[in-house]
Chains A and B, each alone.
Chain A
Amino acid sequence: MKTTEDSPYRAKIQQTEIKAQRPDHAMPVKQEQDDWQPAHAEQTGLSAKWWVLLSGAACFVGFSVFEAITFIDTHFATAPVSTSILAVLLSVFVGSLCWLTGSEYRGYRRVNTFIDKRPTRNALVALSQPSLAVKKLDAYASHFSSGSYAERCYRRFKSMLQGDHSVEEVIKLYQQYVVEPVRKKANDVIKKEAMASGSMAFISPNHLIQTLMLLWISVRTIKRVAQVYGLRPATAGNWKLMKILAQNLAAQSLFDLATDEMTNQLSGSLAAKLVENSAEAVAASALNVRLGKALVKLLDDQSDDKKLGDYR
C-alpha cells in the first residue's frame, strides 16, 4: 500500500523512532496430553483404604479360619491365641475405617467455602473490564488444589486469553476450557467408580461386607470427583451428599432383601445366586452413579445467578 507522506492533509499519527528492542513473539502454548488421573494413581505404598480393604479381608479370612477351628474344636477357651489375633485384626479394621470416615467428614465443612467462593455468571458479565473478570476467576481458581484437573484446565484457559477478548468471550473460554472438560472428566470418574462398585457388589460374599464396600466406594467416589474439581483430597461433600450416601445404603439394603426373597422363591441353585449377585451389582452401580451425579450438580451448578455455572 502506498503511503501518503506527501499528502496535503494533516497526519493524525505522530511517529517517533525508539531505541527499545523489538520483542519476539512466543509460539502459542501446545495442548497438553489429557492424561490426568486422580491422585491415588500416583501414590506409592499402602493407603488407608487399602488397609481397610486388606484388614477387612484378613478379618474375613480370620473369622473363616476361626469358624473352621471352632468347628473342629468347639471349645472357645481352648484357643486363646487365635481369638487374640482375630480381635487385633478386627480392631485394626474398625479403627482404620473410623479414621477414614472421620477424615472424610472433616472435609464436609470445608467444601462449603469452595462452593461459596464460586463466581456467578451475572457477576462476571457485570464487570466492565475483561481483566477484572479474569482477576475474579483467578481468585476462585486459587482454591483449586495443586495438580488437580481443574487447575490444569485453568492453566490452559489462561494461556488462551488474548488482549482483545471481551468479558463475554472470557466467560465463553472459561466455559469451553475449564467448566466443560472438568465436567466431562468428573463423569468419566463416576463411570469408573460405578463399575468398581458393581464389581465389588457382585463378588462380595455377604451383605455386611457388601454394605461396607458400598460405603467405601461411595466415599472414594466423592473424593475422586472432588479432586477433579480441584478440592483437596478428603475435603469433599456436605450434608446433602451424606443424605444421598445414607439413602444409597438404605436402598441397597432393601434391594438385598428383595433379591434374597427372589432367590428363595426361585431355588437355592447357583444360577439363582448368580442372578441375585448380578442384580445387586447393577443396583450398586446405579446408586454410585446417583451419588456422583449429585456431587457434580453440587460442584457445578448450571444456573446463571448461582455459582461456577454452565456459562452457555
Chain B
Amino acid sequence: MRKFIDAILTPAKQAKALGANQWQRWFLQSEHRFTITGLSRSGKSMLFTSLMTVLKYRSEEQYQCLPLLRFLPMELVDKMWLEPLGNLPLFPVQEHIKDLEAGHWPPATESVAGFKLVVRLRQAHQLKKYLLPYTDVVFEFIDYPGEWLTDLPMLGKSYTQWSDSAWAQQMNAPQQRYAKSWHDCVNAFDFEQPPTPDRIMQLVDAYRRYLQEAKSQGISMLQPGSFLIPGSGFDFTQQGFTPLPSRISSDVASPWTQCFTQHFDAFKQQWLTRLKKDTFRQTDKQIILVDLFEGLNHSRSHLYQLRETLSHLADTFVYGNENWFKRNVLQQQGIAKVAFVATKSDLVPVGQRDALLSLLKDVTRGATARFKDGEVQFEHFLVSAIQATDEGSHDNALRYMNHEGRYMEAEFEALPPDLKSMPAEEHYPVLPAAVPPDYLARILNGKGLDRLLQFLLEK
C-alpha cells in the first residue's frame, strides 16, 4: 500500500520540485521512446543517419519526404532540434554524412551514442492555440554495437546454463562449421591443471578467434559479443570465461567451473546489468531491425539461426499494454508496439519485395509468438534508409554501382517466401552497392520510413 501511495505521490513531488519544466513536459510534450534493437550489421547507424537527415530536410527545407507520415503534418512542423540524451555522447550524424560524402558507408558502431530529437508542432485548434500553443514530439534514440545486444539473454542464466546452451549451439549448423579449431583446442586442453591467468587467456583467445570467424561468416548469435569489440569496459583479459564441455561445467567442484562461474557473475553484474539499465532503458516502442540478406547471402541454416536469435532476444524485453495509469502512476511500462523491419530492402527488386516481407514474417515467427495475446501490436516493414539501387529492366531485376564503379544489373530468381522454401544448396549473394554520389537525394527518397513511423506514433 505504501508503495502504491508513493507511486502516486512521486509525480506530484517531482512536479513541485521541477516547477514549470515539469508542467511543460506533462502538457506540451508527447514523448516517444524508441528502442531500436538490431544485431550487428543490421543497419542501425545508417537508419539513424537517414532518419535525422530526412526529418531535418522535411522540417527545415520543406521537402516533401515521408508522405505517409500523417502524425507529423508538414504544415504544422515549426522546428526541429537535437538534445543530448542523459550523459551519452551525441550520435555522430555529421561524421556519418561526411563518410557518405567521401563514398564510404558509416563504420560499424563500437560504442554507445544517443540523442533526443524534438519536433515542435504548432497547435492547429483555434482555442487550444492560446492555451497550449505547441506540442513537442520527443524521440529518444540510442545507438549501440549490435554485439552487445546478443549478450542480454545471458542475464537470465547461470554460468552452467549458458555454457551448456552455447556448447549445444556450436555443435549444430551453421556454427559447427567454424568451431572446429576451438573444439580442437578444448579437446587438447588439460582441465586437470588449475586455472591460472595464462591458461584462462589461452582458452579465451581460442574462443574469441572462433567468435570472430563465425561473425565474419554471418553468424548472429555470438556470446559474449562484448568480447569482440572494445567499449564495454569489462576486462576479459582478467575475468575472461568461455563455455566448457558439459563434463566440466556439470562438475560444480571443478576449479574451472568455479572460476568461470565467478567471472561470469562479474560480467553480469559489472557489465550486463548496467548495460540494460542505461542503454536498454524503459521504452514503449521497439523497432527490431533484421538483416535478412546476411542469411540469404550464406545459407538456409543461417536464416534458422537468425530466427532462433530473434526469439531469444524477445525474451529479454518486457512487453505489455500501454496503459496511462500503469505508465504514469504505477511507473510500470512495457513495450506496447513492436515493428519488425527488414533493412536494406532496396537490395531486392520490386517484384520480390512481397516475398521478402513474407520471409521476414517467417523469420520473426518465434519472437511474435511470445507476445501476449492482443496486448502488443506488431507489424512488419521493409525499409531502405537510402535508395542505393535503381530499377532494373524488369520487375525481378535491379541496377547498382559496385565499388569498382561498374554499373551492374542483377537478375533475381524468386526469393523464398519462408524458410522451408529456401533451397539448402543455393544462396542469394548480397550486392556490394557503393555509396551513390547523389546520396542525399537517395536518402530523402528512401522507402518505408514513413510507414514505420506512422505505425509507431499513431494512437
> Assuming the A-B contacts A24-B441, A28-B445, are A159 and B64 also in contact, with contact meaning beta carbons closer than 8 angstroms in the complex?
yes
For A11, A17, A164, which residue has the most chain B Cβ atoms within 10 angstroms?
A: A164
Q: Which of A1, A10, A18 contacts B409 (CB 8 A)?
A: A18
Q: Which of A65-116 contact B (CB under 8 A)?
A: none
A27, B448: Cα distance in complex, Å: 17
Q: Which residues of A contact B75 (CB under 8 A)?
A: 31, 34
Instruction: Give the A interface residue count (CB, 8 A).
Output: 43
> Assuming the A-B contacts A14-B411, A30-B61, A164-B353, are A3 and B429 also in contact, with contact meaning beta carbons closer than 8 angstroms in the complex?
yes
Contact with B along A161-190 (1 / 0, CB 8 A): 111110001001100110000000000000
A203, B145: Cα distance in complex, Å: 73
A22 lies within 8 A of chain B by Cβ = yes
Q: Is the CB of A15 within 8 A of B409?
A: yes
Q: Is the CB of A18 within 8 A of B441?
A: no
Q: Which residues of B contact A164 (CB under 8 A)?
A: 350, 353, 382, 447-448
> Assuming the A-B contacts A18-B399, A164-B447, are A4 and B427 also in contact, with contact meaning beta carbons closer than 8 angstroms in the complex?
yes
A282, B342: Cα distance in complex, Å: 59
Q: Which residues of B contact A20 (CB under 8 A)?
A: 399, 407
A9, B298: Cα distance in complex, Å: 8
Q: Which of A5-19 contact B (CB under 8 A)?
A: 5, 7, 9-19
Q: Which of B68, B390, B425, B448 contacts A23 (CB 8 A)?
A: B390
Q: Is the CB of A22 within 8 A of B425?
A: no
Q: Is the CB of B440 within 8 A of A27?
A: yes
A270 lies within 8 A of chain B by Cβ = no
Q: Which residues of B contact A21 (CB under 8 A)?
A: 407
A172, B451: Cα distance in complex, Å: 12
Q: Is the CB of B413 within 8 A of A25?
A: no
Contact with B along A115-135 (1 / 0, CB 8 A): 000000000000000000000
A29 lies within 8 A of chain B by Cβ = yes
A169, B74: Cα distance in complex, Å: 18
A139 lies within 8 A of chain B by Cβ = no
Q: Is the CB of A4 within 8 A of B387?
A: no
B55 lies within 8 A of chain A by Cβ = no
A10, B299: Cα distance in complex, Å: 10
Q: Which of A10, A24, A162 contacts B438 (CB 8 A)?
A: A24
A25, B65: Cα distance in complex, Å: 14
A173, B67: Cα distance in complex, Å: 7
B107 lies within 8 A of chain A by Cβ = no
A163, B382: Cα distance in complex, Å: 13
Q: Is the CB of B441 within 8 A of A27?
A: yes
B426 lies within 8 A of chain A by Cβ = yes
For A15, A19, A31, A169, which residue has the most chain B Cβ atoms within 10 angstroms?
A: A15
Q: Is the CB of A22 within 8 A of B401?
A: yes
A140, B353: Cα distance in complex, Å: 31
A208 lies within 8 A of chain B by Cβ = no
B297 lies within 8 A of chain A by Cβ = yes
B104 lies within 8 A of chain A by Cβ = no
- Give the residue name and chain of the B residue nearest to A17 (CB): B406
- Give the residue name and chain of the B residue nearest to A12 (CB): B413
B371 lies within 8 A of chain A by Cβ = no
- Give the residue name and chain of the B residue nearest to A30 (CB): B62
Q: List 17 A-B contacts (CB under 8 A).
A: A1-B297, A2-B217, A3-B297, A5-B429, A9-B425, A11-B427, A15-B410, A15-B431, A17-B409, A18-B407, A22-B401, A25-B445, A27-B63, A27-B444, A31-B63, A163-B350, A163-B391
- Given A2-B297, A13-B411, A28-B65; 13 other pairs, CB 8 A cutoff: A15-B409, A15-B411, A20-B399, A20-B407, A22-B436, A27-B63, A27-B444, A28-B441, A28-B444, A31-B64, A162-B447, A163-B391, A164-B448
Q: What 7 A-B pairs come out closest when comparing CB atoms?
A: A160-B67, A25-B441, A12-B413, A9-B427, A31-B62, A28-B63, A14-B411
Task: Using CB atoms and an 8 Å cutoff, list the residues of chain A in contact with chain B.
Answer: 1-5, 7, 9-31, 34, 156, 159-165, 169, 172-173, 176-177
